[in-house]
Chain A
């Protein structure tokens, strides 16, 4: 992770707030400012960038490690779900989840395991047929960098998967769902970044404090309201934060319920995913 210090961070934020997201370079040497500016200008803008294929895993792999949990009095080697499992028969069900890797965060994988899933991570370009051939109980669509619009292959795959298997998307996965359902995405002026974004769950009227890191957003007005229900909204700027299909098992959120670092208010979405898979299996 690159990190910078000893700069006037507020000045930087205020600048970005005024002019919007910019291309930039981080330099550690004494290269002349003019040259660095030229380098930054030479960078392509984020709009139109398909980056998922550049960061995805080249081949499928299995993931079975849960998260480290500090909650006393649970011993450090036990995850909450293991505790739940130990507590009753309900926890015994296990799900096989195929996770599309568009730049997946490890903590999503850990949490899927915590919530009783065996995960197979597959490359971004994996076809819907290949994914379904793995006989998953559910498909997870990950977060990732770049503009969702050029990732046409993923949109096509989601359309094929829709209705076959429960689908849960986070961040870029949410944007891809939006496109697959017939919506549009657009670029925010300076995006949502940080661990304190208030999101309202429109189904429960409850507020979640969420971790966010995205520059693009689904335009809720572009979605066919007959099929899609808006479930979450950002209270700072009222942009879309989540949706679900009215009749088919698909839901997705723009923010990061798996946040680490960040608040855990939205962990219930993992329960929602397993409940959906449970329902589909019945």
Chain B
């Protein structure tokens, strides 16, 4: 018995069983098991920030050397553009004031006016095809409070869909990217009476940077090149968030028409993103809390 307890294979087996049990327990909503990782996070996050900053500095320095001539030329063109824009800005200031007055008068709403937008930077990306969540530097302390079963859309700087927040800690949030096989969003063709369907992340298409569109009406008009936006059905994502363009349509089975979608957002190239949280009136609660979208 003593020999067995000292055996490295026995110890390894026990560790593996404990880790497997931990993994299963972490799937239970509100499980405290994840708190065991907090010390690692305390040590890991600062060291990762240092490495990232050092890498960015090296990349920037290298870009400054290689792009020097191009940057000088671009700078000259931009200066001319700024002068031109300043002129136009002066011209448009009055028009903007008029628009604000009319906007209130005509009850025109901005597309996402019911949402509070939080900016965040990407801390870490996927480390492999299966370890693929994204970590952001905004958490509960920044107002990103997530209740069980809820989620918030995440957009890039051009307001294209990137993914959704699925977990928050005090200082960080985790995002399920659009290409992940667990991702789903109700979508439509960005046209009057455009066809509606569901867009899913798909393991088979993920490696090619594509999503899958399913539940498409066989009579719907769907062609490559058409723009796809969120439809607002289901309540999680507001209507009109750009998702991507149709890459191909498969009509081979009329009962199950599918299409591939190429998302606009290029997660690998993103540095900053925006989290959309449904706005709650201050009298109801002091901080924006997790409630379903419009």
The yes or no verdict on A and B being binding partners is no
| Interface residues in chain A, defined as those with a beta carbon under 8 Å from any beta carbon in chain B | none
| Interface residues in chain B, defined as those with a beta carbon under 8 Å from any beta carbon in chain A | none
